[in-house]
Amino acid sequence: MQVASGRFKQRAHDGLENPVLRNALLKSQGKFVVTRQQAFDELGNLGELRAAAAAVRDHTLERLDTYLTRFETEVRKAGGEVLWAQTAEDVQRLLHDICARHGVRLAVKSKSMVTEECEVNQALETAGIEVVETDLGEYILQLANEPPSHIVAPVVHKTKEEVAALFERHHGRPRLHDIPALCREAREVLRPKFLAADLGISGANFIIAETGTALIVTNEGNGRLATTLPRVHVAITGIEKVVPTLEDAALLLRLLTRSATGQPITNYVSLLTGPKRASDPDGPEHFYVILVDNGRSKLLGGELQPILRCIRCGACMNHCPVYQNVGGHAYGWVYPGPMGAVLTPSFVGLENARDLPDASTLCGACAAVCPVNIPLPDMLRQLRVQRMEKRLRPWTERAALKLWSWLAARPHIYGIATALAARLLHCFGGKTGLLHRLPFASGWTDGRDLPAPQGHTFRELYKQERQT
């Protein structure tokens, strides 16, 4: 997916101006927030679970090499193969090889953000392979030729009417009006694809080291079809998704589904271990796992390591007031919202996403719900520090900051400067006490007045009071 994160400001503006998006977000956010809350109220011990989950993730990240090697060994034992990809291009190349080896012409996919990250669809299509997304949301986006705007609900920005129009155009069938009918039609179109596909591509929510298992959660059952019907199954996932044991996966699963959709468990939880065995009634003949680095290992051992704990539940964006107003496309790459504002600059380079660390008021709503306790505002601040060190801010901004720090460290001059400013702004405020326009802060006054200062600073008044 092309990186457009450098244009956050403009794209956010477009999002704000889009009434369809606004409506869609209002509806979905209410649902996500309420159902998550209910699910955890029922569970009761969220605090303990979060701490335990964060500890499991940290423990694993500290010994990533060990657990990944163990995973590889177990996959081999089960008759599968693990392939390592350092970059997106590696993923594409490995897939090409697999397709060539097995004579793949049609691939079906279940939902995976890593494959978005690695532009898998485009790569396969240029090699002449047909790729069909089978998650309903992703399928809609494939028809619309749009990127996802949410990591769990990729099509959250679209209305039912837009989907109906898309289906009518692409399926060449009469326009439908209700959601069950639309789902039925999608199912009818997709079923033959499942049956004809040579290759099934999936992500993995977790990979389990002790058993060599790829764990996938879905609600539509498409994941299960895509990973068992075709001759070849390739699971593509980030190296950070490994967990030591089945028990650890179960712990994380309890948090993942509740945080994501408020479900105690998703409709389908598939644990896929190796290809079809002699005794299995079905399953793929070949099982591959592609483990993707693509910038992740760079974060290990650094200040940003905690972001690698992320289990992609989407709760942070569901609770982020910025995301909820601008929508996911504003962030300009695969991962939106607070986790995206941290991951995108880390993966594609701070210089290509320099505004994203600022795309937050640091209100902390994200960190308050993150099931693995990622201190997202601290991560954003950390990126701001890096940006400052790399001098990626305009010199005017840096100069203003320096001036403020300089002044604030010199109380005497500071007192004179602030007294003057208070006086001036007070006069400009006139009778209404409101400033409607400010020369250097039109960013503020375009949308809001500025209540004028009282006219004297506290320190002036306090000094007077002490003298009388």
Partner 1 sequence: MRVGLFVTCLVDLMRPRIGFAALKLLRAAGADVVVPRAQTCCGQPGYNAGDNAGARNLALKLAREFADCDYVVTPSGSCAGMIRVHYPALFREDAHAGDIGRLAEKTCELTDFLARVARLERVPGDFTGTLAYHDSCSGLRELGVKTQPRALLARMPGVRLIEMAESETCCGFGGTFSVKFGDIATRMADNKCQNIKASGADAVAAGDLGCLLHIEGRLRRLGDTQTRVLHVAEVLAGATEN
Residues forming the site for partner 1 (CB under 8 A): 9, 12-13, 16, 321-322, 325-326, 357-365, 367-368, 378, 381, 383-389, 393, 397, 401-402, 404-405, 407-409, 411, 414, 418, 421-422, 434, 441-444, 446-451, 453-454, 456-463
The CB-of-317 to partner 1 minimum distance in angstroms stands at 14
How far apart (Å, rounded) are the C-alpha atoms in residues 370 and 23?
25
∠423-424-425 over CA atoms, to 5°?
A: 95
Could you tell me the sign of the dihedral formed by the alpha carbons of 295, 301, 304, 305, in that order? positive
Chain-centroid distance of CA 325 in Å reads: 16
The CB-of-402 to partner 1 minimum distance in angstroms stands at 7
Query: Residue 370 — φ and ψ, nearest 5°?
Result: -60, 120
Q: Which of ligand SF4, partner 1, none does 370 bind, CB closer than 5 to 8 A by kind?
A: ligand SF4
Q: Which of partner 1, ligand SF4, none does 312 bind, CB closer than 5 to 8 A by kind?
A: ligand SF4
∠257-261-263 over CA atoms, to 5°?
A: 55
Is the separation of the CB atoms in 390 and 350 below 8 Å? yes
Q: Kindly give the interhelix angle for 395-408 and 411-429, rounded to the nearest 10 degrees.
A: 110
The token duo for 229 is 């019907």
Give 218: exposed, middle or buried? Use CB within 10 Å, 0-12, 13-18, 19+: buried
Residue holding tokens 């209002």? 26
The CB-of-82 to ligand SF4 minimum distance in angstroms stands at 24
Q: Which is nearer to ligand SF4, 91 or 320 (CB)?
A: 320
Q: Which is nearer to ligand SF4, 98 or 313 (CB)?
A: 313
Q: Which of partner 1, ligand SF4, none does 114 bind, CB closer than 5 to 8 A by kind?
A: none
Q: Which is nearer to ligand SF4, 140 or 341 (CB)?
A: 341
The CB-of-383 to partner 1 minimum distance in angstroms stands at 8
Q: Which of partner 1, ligand SF4, none does 313 bind, CB closer than 5 to 8 A by kind?
A: ligand SF4
Other Cβ atoms within 10 Å of 268 Cβ, number: 16
How far apart (Å, rounded) are the C-alpha atoms in residues 22 and 160?
14
Count how many residues are written for the chain: 468
Q: Which is nearer to partner 1, 292 or 326 (CB)?
A: 326
The CB-of-211 to ligand SF4 minimum distance in angstroms stands at 23
Q: Which of ligand SF4, partner 1, none does 429 bind, CB closer than 5 to 8 A by kind?
A: none
Q: Which is nearer to ligand SF4, 108 or 369 (CB)?
A: 369
Q: Which is nearer to ligand SF4, 186 or 379 (CB)?
A: 379
Q: Which is nearer to ligand SF4, 95 or 316 (CB)?
A: 316
Residue 42's nearest CA partner among 248, 249, 262, 257 is 262
The CB-of-442 to partner 1 minimum distance in angstroms stands at 8
Q: Which of ligand SF4, partner 1, none does 351 bind, CB closer than 5 to 8 A by kind?
A: none
Q: Which is nearer to ligand SF4, 83 or 380 (CB)?
A: 380
The CB-of-22 to partner 1 minimum distance in angstroms stands at 9
Under the rule (CB under 6 A), what is the footprint of ligand SF4?
A: 259, 310-316, 339, 370-372, 374
Q: Which is nearer to partner 1, 283 or 364 (CB)?
A: 364
Torsion, CA 215, CA 220, CA 221, CA 226, rounded to 10: -80
The CB-of-371 to partner 1 minimum distance in angstroms stands at 16
The CB-of-47 to ligand SF4 minimum distance in angstroms stands at 15
Q: Which of ligand SF4, partner 1, none does 372 bind, CB closer than 5 to 8 A by kind?
A: ligand SF4
Other Cβ atoms within 10 Å of 339 Cβ, number: 26
The CB-of-54 to partner 1 minimum distance in angstroms stands at 17
Could you tell me the sign of the dihedral formed by the alpha carbons of 43, 45, 46, 50, in that order? negative
Q: Which is nearer to partner 1, 136 or 299 (CB)?
A: 299
Residue 249's nearest CA partner among 289, 220, 209 is 209
Q: Which of ligand SF4, partner 1, none does 12 bind, CB closer than 5 to 8 A by kind?
A: partner 1
How far apart (Å, rounded) are the C-alpha atoms in residues 357 and 373?
19
Q: Which of partner 1, ligand SF4, none does 371 bind, CB closer than 5 to 8 A by kind?
A: ligand SF4
Whole-Å CA distances, 279 to 209, 282, 283, 328: 24, 9, 11, 45
